[in-house]
Chains A and B, each alone.
Chain A
Amino acid sequence: MLAFLVKRIGNAVLVMLTVAFFAFLIFRFLGDPVEMMVNESATQSDRDELRGRLGLNDGFLVQYVRFVTNAAQGEFGLSWRNQQSVIGLIAERFPATFELVIIATFLSLVIGIPLGVFTAIGRGRWWAEGLQFSSIVGVSLPSFFVGIILILTFSVTLGWLPGYGRGDVMRIGWWSTGLLTASGRAAVVLPALSLSLFQITLVMRLVRAEMLETLRADFIKFARARGVKRRPLWFRHALKNCLMPVVTLTAMQVGNLIAFALVTETVFQWPGMGMLFMQAVTFVDIPVMAAYLCIVSFIFVTLNTLVDIAYAVIDPRLRNA
């Protein structure tokens, strides 16, 4: 198990170094940092002096190593747009996106898995087929449309939940959380639901398909033959065998959710990284874009590694691999 862990983590570090390399290329060669930082009246010697101070005259490899070392410490320089520290900007926005994505993922699992199990065991009954059909509708609705419908229904018409913003947030160190205040929790419901709807239907359909497959397996027939009751048969024996693809799907989809959050954040005026990135693109704010690339990749790679480890925990056959 230890060798396995070392191998997976080693792979993850390698991938991150590669990503950092591309981020570095963007950072270093897309636009001239000096031009962006000095004002109009600066002389050539001012510029040269700044160039030296920023280390831009050093060798390529030296600069890359410095970039990686800085990035590993969360140091991405200053935003070209407003001269604030990039990591500060991201740190300010990251918790909002993170909480939104986590809640959306959580919803997709706690709603999607039971729905998948029930539509599988109720196959052929009207309610199961009805759910299965509505899930097709769920998959095909665009995310912003779902968001607008949710806002119109629950916020504008019924007035039950807020339709924009994050509500009151509490600070815990540099982290700002909306989950500890009533208004923050109310505010996250609609955007999270909107963001997760697609994911819910995905999880549900995957679990249904996997369950139907697993329920045909010999070991299920044999478990019934030795007297295992239906409930443990479904939720213990069959469902556990379906979880692996669900874990994979979920982890992979978290990356997509962060990307989709861009749309949801815009519709719900959610102050997250998505909105920050949109602004960075508009202003060609290269340091912010490079940092966004590194951080989103870091999340992807970490999740992938966790998936591999989770595999090994769920399925003993993979432990020695």
Chain B
Amino acid sequence: MSTASPSPALEVKGLSVEFPTRRGILTALSDVSLTIERGEILGVVGESGAGKSMTGMAVLGLLEPPGRVSSGEIRIAGKRTDNLSDDEMESVRGRMVGAIFQDPLTSLNPLFSVGQQLVETIRLHSDRNRTEARVHAVNLLKQVGIPGAEERIDHHPHQFSGGMRQRVVIALALAGNPQLIIADEPTTALDVSIQAQITTLLRRLCREQGAGVMLVTHDMGVIAETADRVAVMYAGRVIEVGAVEDVLARPKHPYTRGLMGSIPALGARVERLTQIDGAMPRLNAVPPGCAFNPRCPEAGSRCLQVRPTLMPEGQGAVACLLHDGGVA
């Protein structure tokens, strides 16, 4: 089926996203580069507002107007998608890239049964007829671990618990056999006891289907258990990427070090990073030089002038002048 080495599930190169506003242009993402191989899970972490969701939405082609990709390239399974028309993008979503959002309570249309929503999605992305699509829908529900799938398929979303609903959402995201899944905080809204089940399920299914996953989360425990590699974002930039073991054990960027230092225990949230003083700059007030310089304990004079770019470093990459010519 596939050729010698398949292209990565996702390749983002130098992606910038802008929001033209009355008071000038806001740059929400600048020069973001990421790669996710097939069957690989890339964790994406960073403070609230760092641009994690924005990256996912840009890949899905669902930026809210007037937001737009101003430069860079997005390739899903080798196909360039950032320059597609709305019509073309409609047939990429669901089929090449699926999505799972934070809140399963609001992700499903309350007025249609889960079967109707599954059959609709399946038929959008394959030439199955209604009966075949329904059979496939039942199979998907079984795959995501919904007991009594034959019966449950005709139930409406409000008849499912939060965890079960998120399973339905996963089934919907997988219905078109996409090569890439964007999972934006898929467990944040769920009961702690269910979170692990959902991430385990997600991990198993993506391995089985050979889909790459971009897993946005605030939960370092989830990253440690689920992800293969991790990307750290700050103020619309990727500041460090690497294998999970490396980044967790030997963070290179001062911000990542702060992040890791702020984890009291695995499984805890990092929404409030008390260890790092100050707050992330607003998009219209990013300082010159390194965006992290006002908060960086190691900042030097060069950090105020030179903007570090993501440079390969060991097995990963880091955007910090400490690793690129020094800070003095």
**How many angstroms from the CA of A241 to the CA of B94 in the assembled complex?**
23
A317 touches B121 (CB 8 A): no
Pair A226/B111 contact, Cβ less than 8 Å: no
Instruction: Assess whether A317 is in contact with B110, with CB atoms less than 8 Å apart.
Output: yes
Determine whether the beta carbon of A222 is less than 8 Å from that of B169: yes
| Given A219-B110, A230-B90, A241-B111; A225-B156 close (CB under 8 Å) | no
Contact yes or no, B103 A228, CB < 8 A: no
Of listed B98, B107, B173, residue having the most chain A CB within 10 A: B107
Complex CA–CA separation, A145 to B98 (angstroms): 55
In the complex, which of the residues A221, A241, A314, A317 contacts B101, with contact meaning CB atoms closer than 8 Å? A221
A122 to chain B, nearest CB (A): 13
Tally of contact residues, A, Cβ under 8 A: 21
Counting CB contacts under 8 A, is B83 at the interface?
no
Residues in A neighbouring B111, C-beta threshold 8 A: 240-241, 314-316
Instruction: Give Cα A230–Cα B90 distance, bound, in whole angstroms.
Output: 8
A320 CB to closest chain B CB (Å) equals: 10
Say yes or no: is A32 at the interface (Cβ < 8 Å to chain B). no
Q: Is A217 an interface residue (CB 8 A)?
A: yes
Evaluate contact between B62 and A221: CB separation under 8 angstroms.
Answer: yes
Does the CB pair B158–A227 fall under 8 Å? no
B101 and chain A: residue at smallest CB distance? A222
- Say if the beta carbon of B99 comes within 8 Å of chain A: yes
> How many contacts between A and B, using CB within 8 angstroms?
74
Q: Tell me, in angstroms, the Cα distance from A316 to B108 when the chains sit together.
A: 14
Smallest beta-carbon distance A216→chain B, Å: 9
Question: Does chain A have a CB within 8 A of B172?
Answer: yes
**Does any Cβ of A come within 8 Å of B2's Cβ?**
no
Q: Is A229 an interface residue (CB 8 A)?
A: yes
Complex partner residue of B93 from A224, A232, A240, A241, CB under 8 angstroms:
A224
A311 CB to closest chain B CB (Å) equals 12
Closest to B92 in A: A227
8 Å CB contact of A227 from B90, B107, B110, B182? B90
Asked if B98 and A225 sit within 8 Å, CB to CB, the answer is yes
Tell me if B124 is interfacial: C-beta within 8 Å of chain A.
yes
Q: B87-125: contact bitstring with A at CB < 8 Å (1 yes, 0 no)?
A: 000111111001101010011111110000000110011
Would you call A237 an interface residue if the criterion is a C-beta within 8 Å of the partner chain's C-beta atoms? yes
Residues of A within 8 A of B106 (CB): 217-219
Q: Which of A227, A240, A241, A317 counts the most B-chain CB atoms under 10 A from its CB?
A: A227
**Chain B contacts for A237, CB-based, 8 A:** 109, 112
In the bound assembly, the distance between CA atoms of A224 and B176 in angstroms comes to 13
Complex Cα distance, B99 from A228, in Å, reads 13
Q: Which residue of B lies closest to A223 (CB)?
A: B109
Does B172 lie within 8 Å of A226, measured CB to CB?
A: yes
CB-CB < 8 A to B62: which residues of A?
Answer: 221, 224-225
Q: How far is the CA of A182 from the CA of B106 in the complex (A)?
A: 51
> A227 near B109 (CB under 8 angstroms)?
no
The distance in angstroms between the C-alpha atoms of A232 and B119, with both chains bound, is 14
Could you tell me the distance between the alpha carbons of A237 and B109 in the complex, rounded to whole angstroms? 7
Instruction: Digitize A254-287: 1 where CB-to-B-CB distance is under 8 Å, 0 elsewhere.
Output: 0000000000000000000000000000000000
Cα distance A240–B112 when bound, in Å? Answer: 10
Best-buried of A226, A230, A316 by chain B (most CB within 10 Å): A226
Is B103 a contact of A227 with CB atoms below 8 Å? no
Task: Report A-chain residues with C-beta under 8 Å of the C-beta of B95.
Answer: 227
B→A interface (CB under 8 Å): 60, 62, 86, 90-95, 98-99, 101, 103, 106-112, 120-121, 124-125, 156, 158, 169, 172-173, 175-176, 182
- With A226-B94, A317-B158 already in contact, 11 other A-B pairs whose C-beta atoms are closer than 8 Å: A218-B107, A222-B99, A222-B108, A222-B169, A225-B98, A225-B182, A226-B99, A228-B94, A228-B120, A314-B111, A316-B156
